[in-house]
Amino acid sequence: MKAFAELYAALDETTKTNEKVDALTRYFSRVPPADAAWAAAFLIGRRPKRLLASRKLAQWAIEESGIPDWLFGECYHAVGDFAETIALLLPPAQSSSDLPLHYWIEERLLPLRDADDEARRASLVSAWRDMDERQRFAWNKIITGEFRVGVSQSLVVRAVAAVGGLDAAIVSHRLMGDWQPTAAFWTQLVTPGTHEATRDADVSRPYPFFLAYPLEGSIEELGDIREWQVEWKWDGIRAQLIRRNGRTFVWSRGEELMTDRFPELEALGAQLPEGVAVDGEVLPWKNGAPLAFAQLQRRIGRKVLGPRILSEVPVVMVAYDLLELRGKDIRERPLEFRRAWLEEMLEDIAPSDSALMVSPIVRADTWEDLTARLQEARARKVEGFMLKRLGSPYRVGRRRGDWWKWKIQPYSVDAVLIYAQPGHGRRASLFTDYTFGVWDGGKLVPFAKAYSGLTDEEIRQVDAFVRANTVEKFGPVRAVKSELVFELAFEGIQRSPRHRSGIAVRFPRMARWRTDKKAEDADTLETIRALLPPGGAGSTD
Amino acid sequence: MDRAVITHAHHAFPGSRAYLAARPGEALLRARVGADASIQPLDYAESVHLNGVRVSLHPAGHILGSAQVRIESGGEVWVVSGDYKLEPDPTCAAFEPVACDTFVTESTFGLPIYRWPPEAAVFAEIRAWWAANREAGKASVLFAYSLGKAQRVLAGLGACLDPADGPIYTHGAVEKFCRLYREAGVALAPTVHAAAAPPNTDWSGALILAPPSANGTQWMRRFGPHSTGFVSGWMRIRGARRRRSLDRGFVLSDHADWPGLMSAIRTSGASRVWVTHGYRAPVVEWLKQQGLDAQAIETRFESEQDETGAEPGESAEADL
């Protein structure tokens, strides 16, 4: 636990990625393999199912530190991090633990699964008493699973690759899919030269996704349009459909195995040839066109997929790419070959009304023609274009150069700041999370929440405004004087009976602080309603 | 203001007609309010009569010359704490508990999450960080409030410096107050004004003390590769350090932590407590639950909470 607490502190103390990778590499090289496996699993966001409710943890911490509930609440608002609040409030540490990370997880945390509350409390309190303040903090992070230490999967991959002397792409692939954090797994992970196809005991393993950057500069800079494949940019769930050993798997980009959420795709998998991996987008789809994304969310939210929801919100997969064919990894082959094989394969198995279709190519002879076609995007319910360089391999992660996304301009409205509450992590005890209102019959109705888009300096100014202009407090939430106007940008808009304004927007963020506008200049609900798609389209019911 | 009674030189109220201040803080006050201001210096515990009340000043342990104000009238005693801390500090007289009926206390760090580590451990951390940077060929830029904190750091480091340590440079805002501290007889580690260093100075391995407002300014460019640290009670919370994009936070404050506040309130023997500056609401609520008559007081000279972490009077002073 000492080494892990030190690693956590080292990662937390720098924003430089090279220093983070160095800290990870040093840690992985000096701890037992089982510790390394657990640390890697936690840092890339794979953690055991949460065993302890926050409410209980807070209660035990409160008892141990001898303060009242309300004071714990005040402290939490100031710190903005639950694990840290507890570590700061516990009585001063009397000792420090020399036991390794895997002991604490395997022998102390996981057995709590079958324990009753009293046993859980006793075990946890005794753990806290065995640890110093840093260790308590790292331990609380493990228990609550909210790491927020600025380590992305790609940094972990770089460190593991450095430890094993391996190529990062190989490590990336080995870290996909279903695996357990054990000493044996770690040893395999960092051993060079093992043949991937035979070593890969896990038949379900997906490939790392290749992601696009937003287009920078002007479109002409991409050169000859004939060297590019253009597709519509669909708004769904990016996924891989995999068929191996007679079984079908659907993985989301978040590396969640979602096969049972999409029976349509599972049924379709049976028609696929053995040993294929298709990259595509899962979309809610009816009558030859996509439904609103919220419909898909509604379906995913259901515990049981009854016949009603299946017929209301059927899904399809729009296939972008073919990553594996006849059991062979073909990601290094040029895009036009992969695309041809994909089309050929789907022709054989998928009739035109099938749940699997090839992402259509957008034809244009010049960039000018293509730009003109961007106008069609909203009517087609897509977000814009995907531009892919012919001849490019299927890469790992987000890379510049071969794939670009070109999105249509977002919607935008001017709205008034009406509520603010403190953020978390590095924004703790700064007012950074805002609710905005628009005018409706002389009153401001809450319309959207937004957290991003301001510079640090602007955040400081808004924070100072909130403190000086609070008109009412509801717990951590402040109602403020209606004065500041912001231009909000968002991607989609639809009717929603669950929102007080009757409208829900997708990806709202602050595009600009309109210091030139007064509250009364902000938009009205009526003008925003005019942005809604005509008819009932996009409605959630 | 006709007459300002000064608890410490961070709050100096420039432009007042007359000042009453503790003698050790006279020079600092003069530096802030002007050479020709009318300042009446008072020894600690010496009393004067003003408008029929007896007023005396007592050490608050915050910075050089900081004072609690004791006011006695008709047999009733009030003490206004100003900013204070209970930990020992080689740069100023230690906090002295003063018995009173009503105690007016600050509450900058009035939450139980604020608990200061021993000063010696913090200085050991600073030295280890400095040594690691030296090893890596980097300069160490340490931010500290230019009046009070910077001198406390220099006094603390001075006591444990060894020949292997590199030179210590200062920002002009810091150097100005160091001079006044030294003139007052406070022993500080030797420093060199950074602006006076020759253009080809090798900064790697040096420690540079600067006010937090210097962070991210042009002034920082000259140091080349460097690591940044901040010495402040706010550094007890990770978020406070991370949003300033600092490499290291060192928890050292000239204000009382939660145990310190509670101890000062208890030893004052006051039955009534007024709470200003900081986390007033939770401190008042807590004191009420302990059976004290407590209330929050708004003063003219504060923002709701010192979120910037800057001391009043701290501004982006240029290093001339």
For chain B, list the strands marked E by DSSP: 3-5, 18-22, 39-42, 47-50, 53-59, 67-73, 76-80, 102-107, 139-143, 168-170, 192-193, 207-210, 226-231, 248-250, 272-278, 293-296
Topology classification of domain B3-114+255-296: Metallo-beta-lactamase; Chain A (3.60.15)
Domains of chain A: total = 3
CA distance B125 to chain A (A): 14
CA distance B182 to chain A (A): 34
> Where is pLDDT greater, at A82 or A379?
A82
pLDDT confidence of residue B319: 45
For chain A, what percent of residues have pLDDT higher than 90? 54
pLDDT confidence of residue A202: 65
Lowest mean pLDDT segment, chosen from A406-410, B90-94, B176-180 = A406-410
- In a domain, residue A183? The reply is no
Same domain, A381 and A257: yes
Same domain, A359 and A218: yes
Interchain pair B237, A428: CB under 8 A? yes
Lowest mean pLDDT segment, chosen from A171-175, A200-204, A333-337, B17-21 = A200-204
pLDDT confidence of residue B300: 61
pLDDT confidence of residue B320: 40
* A residues 40-69 lying closer than 8 A (beta carbon) to B: 65, 67-68
CA distance A418 to chain B (A): 19
Token digits for B104?
Answer: 């007016």
Interchain pair B243, A13: CB under 8 A? no
Same domain, A301 and A436: no
CA distance A456 to B60: 35
The overall average pLDDT reported for chain A is 88
> Where is pLDDT greater, at B159 or A159?
A159
Name the nearest CA neighbour of A205 among A167, A255, A270: A255
pLDDT confidence of residue B318: 39
* B residues 88-127 lying closer than 8 A (beta carbon) to A: 111-113, 115
The closest CB to that of A12, out of B238, B245, B285, belongs to B238
Q: Is B304 on the interface with A (CB under 8 A)?
A: yes
| Confidence check: pLDDT of B315 > 60 | no
CA distance A390 to A339: 10
- In a domain, residue A7? The reply is yes
Q: Give the ipTM.
A: 0.89
Largest Cα–Cα separation, chain B: 66
Q: Is B298 on the interface with A (CB under 8 A)?
A: no
Q: How confident is the model at residue A314 (pLDDT cuts 50, 70, 90)?
A: very high
Same domain, A112 and A236: no
Interchain pair A426, B282: CB under 8 A? no
Q: How confident is the model at residue B127 (pLDDT cuts 50, 70, 90)?
A: very high
Lowest mean pLDDT segment, chosen from A94-98, A337-341, B215-219, B224-228 = B215-219
- In a domain, residue A300? The reply is yes
Beta-ladder partners of A505? A493
pLDDT confidence of residue A51: 80
The closest CB to that of A71, out of B236, B286, B305, belongs to B286
CA distance A533 to A379: 9
- In a domain, residue A175? The reply is no
Which one is the CATH code of B119-250: 2.30.30, 1.10.1740, 3.40.50, 1.10.10? 3.40.50
Q: How confident is the model at residue A173 (pLDDT cuts 50, 70, 90)?
A: confident
pLDDT confidence of residue A537: 42
Last residue of a domain, one of A144, A170, A195: A144
pLDDT confidence of residue A194: 59
CA distance A357 to A319: 6
| Confidence check: pLDDT of A201 > 60 | no
CA distance A63 to A118: 13
Beta-ladder partners of A315? A284
Cβ neighbors of B243 (< 8 A, separation 6 or more) are: A426, A427, A428, A430, A456
pLDDT confidence of residue A495: 86
Same domain, A229 and A325: yes
> Contacts from A451-456 at CB under 8 Å and sequence distance 24+?
A451/A423, A451/A509, A452/A509, A452/A510, A453/A489, A453/A509, A453/A510, A453/A511, A454/A510, A454/A513, A456/B243
- In a domain, residue A164? The reply is no
Same domain, A400 and A424: no
Tell me which amino acid residue B69 is: V
Q: In A, which residues are within 8 Å of B111 by CB distance?
A: 71, 74-75, 78
| Confidence check: pLDDT of A45 > 80 | yes
Q: Is A85 on the interface with B (CB under 8 A)?
A: yes
> Where is pLDDT greater, at A457 or A88?
A88
Q: How confident is the model at residue A517 (pLDDT cuts 50, 70, 90)?
A: confident
Which of A188-192, A511-515, B204-208 has the highest average model confidence (pLDDT)? Answer: B204-208
Residue range of the domain that includes A374 = 210-407
Tell me the average pLDDT across A134-160. Answer: 88
Q: How confident is the model at residue A535 (pLDDT cuts 50, 70, 90)?
A: low
| Confidence check: pLDDT of A301 > 60 | yes
- In a domain, residue A241? The reply is yes
What is the location of CATH 3.60.15.10 in chain B? 3-114+255-296
- In a domain, residue A202? The reply is no
pLDDT tens-digit readout, B236-288: 998 888 878 788 999 999 999 999 999 999 999 999 999 998 899 999 999 99
| Confidence check: pLDDT of A118 > 70 | yes
Q: In B, which residues are within 8 Å of A466 by CB distance?
A: none
Report the 3 state secondary structure along A89-141.
HCCCCCCCCCCCHHHHHHHHHHHHHHCCHHHHHHHHHHHHHHCCHHHHHHHHH
Q: How confident is the model at residue A110 (pLDDT cuts 50, 70, 90)?
A: very high
| Confidence check: pLDDT of A355 > 90 | no
pLDDT confidence of residue B303: 44
Q: Count interface pairs A-B at CB distance under 8 A.
A: 73
Last residue of a domain, one of A144, A177, A200: A144
Tell me which amino acid residue A94 is: Q
pLDDT confidence of residue A172: 86
Q: In B, which residues are within 8 Å of A15 by CB distance?
A: 245
- In a domain, residue A481? The reply is yes
| Confidence check: pLDDT of B180 > 70 | yes
Structural contact between residues A282 and A319, judged by C-beta atoms closer than 8 angstroms: no
pLDDT confidence of residue A473: 85
Same domain, A457 and A400: no
Same domain, A227 and A327: yes
Token digits for A39?
Answer: 């640390």
Q: In B, which residues are within 8 Å of A463 by CB distance?
A: 307
CATH number at A137 reads: 1.10.3260.10
Cβ neighbors of B85 (< 8 A, separation 6 or more) are: B60, B61, B62, B95, B253, B254, B255, B256, B260
CA distance B303 to B306: 6
Same domain, A283 and A259: yes
What is the location of CATH 3.40.50 in chain B? 119-250
CATH number at A217 reads: 3.30.470.30
Interchain pair A14, B304: CB under 8 A? no
Same domain, A250 and A383: yes
Interchain pair B237, A92: CB under 8 A? no
CATH number at A495 reads: 2.40.50.140
pLDDT confidence of residue B301: 55
Query: Which of helix, strand or coil describes residue B189?
Result: coil
- Which of B107, B133, B243 has the highest number of chain A CBs within 10 A, making it the mutation to test binding with A? B243
Same domain, A415 and A501: yes
